[in-house]
Amino acid sequence: MRFLSRQRLRTGAEFDAAFKRGARLDGRLFLLVAAPNGRTFDRLGLAVSRRVGGSVERNRARRLLRESFRRLARPAGPGVDLVVVARSGLVGCGQAEVDRELRERVQRIRRPAPMAGALPPAAR
């Protein structure tokens, strides 16, 4: 399956909206911002600055992130805008590690936060 143009955040306004109302999860390889988009599919926006490296390293980081997004199997439901801000450690990683971190971050965003003071079912 290809990474379609409709699956991309393109304008500054789309990025700004995601940053303004999105949930943030910080990780070793990247910062993930996720915001509902009112569509039936997810979209991806990439922010890869010069701190990541030269043009070769930045393009590698983009390729790794796009492929991880493409491989991400999500259940059907409301769509989410995902903005990924790459960190310099991303360039030295393999595809499997990037896939794993993206999957973990997206699962954490989809899972509701536990209520304060609530005990897990096994502890009751």
Q: Name the CA radius of gyration of the chain, rounded.
A: 15
Report how far residue 28's alpha carbon sits from residue 91's, in angstroms, rounded to the nearest whole number.
12
Tokens of 9: 């955040």
pLDDT at 72: 84
Kindly indicate whether the domain formed by 5-110 is annotated with CATH number 3.30.230.10.
yes
- Tens of pLDDT, residue by residue over 10-35, are 999 999 999 999 999 998 999 999 99
- Tens of pLDDT, residue by residue over 64-106, are 999 999 988 776 678 899 999 999 889 889 999 999 999 999 8
